[in-house]
């Protein structure tokens, strides 16, 4: 879409939201809105999606201006990683945003519930250790169980440069597939520079499950150029995957966006990923995002 049209769309969105939605309080945290009020209330309560849409549109107009999205990911390869419960619409939205920005999606890999289950930690780390036997360029000495798993997935999916799957990467992905830890049909064509972990709005990532996710995302990030965890409004609320990463030990190296699927959410996704490729992490979206609704544009 031409830059002038993007600005016009942004202005229309803000006017529509300002005129047709009565904003409540405390909804930018991505949580549930208050129950419906009495019938004499003059306007309906805004949903978290309504409020996030207005915040992102306002930020777009104020800081991004007419800067185009096209070309921001030209020459970059991206692997999409889906978490259990990630809506197909969110996965498609992220893929479309990457391609529209000139990036290449090399494939999609789904992490299963078993991979993210702390009760299966020993089984999963055993598969990872076995798959990495004899892989000279991946040192696992001194790593804990799920750090080994993260290193293996990083070796299978991510790289500093776009690289065809070699024998070691194929062995890792085949072992994880056989163990029902991932699904990928077909396998990615290449190891990618960037990874986008796509989640839903479910709040199932508290405690150990959230810690495992953060470790795995950090493994992809360490092996490649950068990793973004992206989800719809709600994923940044307590127990959501985005919130778990933001609160995790690797938050300084990873980026997050929790506005996938709303107007200009694609802009937040693309620019955050572009910044990751340049070595700058950040957390963007609703009020739980410490760096604001949208990434700044140089």
Determine, yes or no, domain membership for 57.
yes
Point out the residues of the chain with pLDDT beneath 70: 1-44, 60-68, 298
Say if residue 44 is in the same domain as residue 110. no
Determine, yes or no, domain membership for 291.
no
Say if residue 99 is in the same domain as residue 128. yes
Say if residue 86 is in the same domain as residue 223. yes
For tokens 């309906």, the residue is 44
Say if residue 39 is in the same domain as residue 129. no
For CA atoms 284, 254, 99, 172, the dihedral sign is negative
Say if residue 159 is in the same domain as residue 279. yes
Is cis: bond before 266, omega within 30 of 0? Answer: no
- Residue 90 is predicted with a pLDDT of 95
Determine, yes or no, domain membership for 298.
no
- Residue 51 is predicted with a pLDDT of 81
Say if residue 185 is in the same domain as residue 155. yes
- Residue 8 is predicted with a pLDDT of 33
Domain's final residue, options 18, 38, 64? 64
Say if residue 82 is in the same domain as residue 124. yes
Say if residue 169 is in the same domain as residue 49. no
Domain hosting 212: range is: 77-284
Query: Across-strand partners of 183?
Result: 110
- Residue 113 is predicted with a pLDDT of 97
Say if residue 197 is in the same domain as residue 243. yes
What's the domain count of the chain? 2
Determine, yes or no, domain membership for 70.
no
Give the relative orientation of helices 145-157 and 167-178 as an angle to the nearest 10 degrees: 120
Does residue 297 contact residue 267 with C-beta atoms inside 8 Å?
no
- Residue 44 is predicted with a pLDDT of 59
Determine, yes or no, domain membership for 214.
yes
- Residue 183 is predicted with a pLDDT of 98
**The tokens of 211 are what?**
């810690």
Determine, yes or no, domain membership for 91.
yes
Q: Give CA–CA dist 258/248, Å, rounded.
A: 16
Domain's final residue, options 38, 64, 90? 64
Determine, yes or no, domain membership for 245.
yes
Say if residue 260 is in the same domain as residue 139. yes
Say if residue 132 is in the same domain as residue 193. yes
Does residue 97 contact residue 261 with C-beta atoms inside 8 Å?
no
Determine, yes or no, domain membership for 294.
no
Extract the runs of DSSP E, i.e. beta strands, from 112-164: 163-164
Extract the runs of DSSP E, i.e. beta strands, from 8-155: 77-82, 104-111
């Amino acid at each position: 879409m031409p830059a002038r049209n993007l600005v016009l769309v942004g202005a229309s969105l803000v006017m529509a939201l300002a005129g047709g939605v009565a904003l409540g309080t405390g909804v930018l945290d991505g949580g549930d809105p208050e129950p419906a009020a009495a019938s004499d209330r003059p306007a309906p309560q805004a949903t978290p999606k309504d409020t996030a849409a207005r915040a992102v549109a306002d930020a777009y107009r104020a800081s991004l201006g007419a800067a185009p999205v096209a070309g921001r990911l030209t020459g970059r390869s991206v692997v999409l990683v889906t978490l259990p419960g990630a809506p197909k619409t969110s996965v498609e939205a992220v893929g479309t945003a990457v391609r529209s920005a000139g990036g290449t999606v090399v494939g999609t890999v789904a992490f299963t519930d078993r991979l993210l289950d702390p009760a299966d930690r020993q089984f999963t780390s055993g598969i990872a250790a076995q798959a990495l036997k004899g892989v000279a360029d991946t040192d696992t000495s001194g790593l804990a169980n799920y750090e080994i798993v993260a290193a293996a997935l990083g070796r299978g999916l991510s790289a500093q440069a776009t690289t065809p799957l070699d024998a070691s990467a194929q062995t890792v992905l085949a072992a994880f597939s056989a163990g029902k830890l991932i699904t990928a049909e077909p396998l990615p064509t290449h190891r990618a520079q960037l990874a986008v972990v796509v989640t839903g709005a479910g709040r199932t990532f508290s405690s150990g499950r959230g810690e495992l996710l953060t470790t795995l995302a950090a493994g992809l990030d360490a092996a490649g150029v950068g990793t973004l965890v992206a989800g719809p409004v709600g994923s940044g609320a307590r127990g959501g995957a985005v919130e778990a990463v933001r609160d995790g030990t690797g938050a300084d190296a990873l980026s997050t966006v929790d506005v996938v699927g709303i107007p200009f959410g694609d802009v937040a996704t693309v620019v955050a990923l572009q910044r990751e490729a340049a070595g700058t992490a950040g957390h963007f979206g609703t009020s739980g995002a410490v760096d604001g609704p949208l990434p700044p544009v140089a």
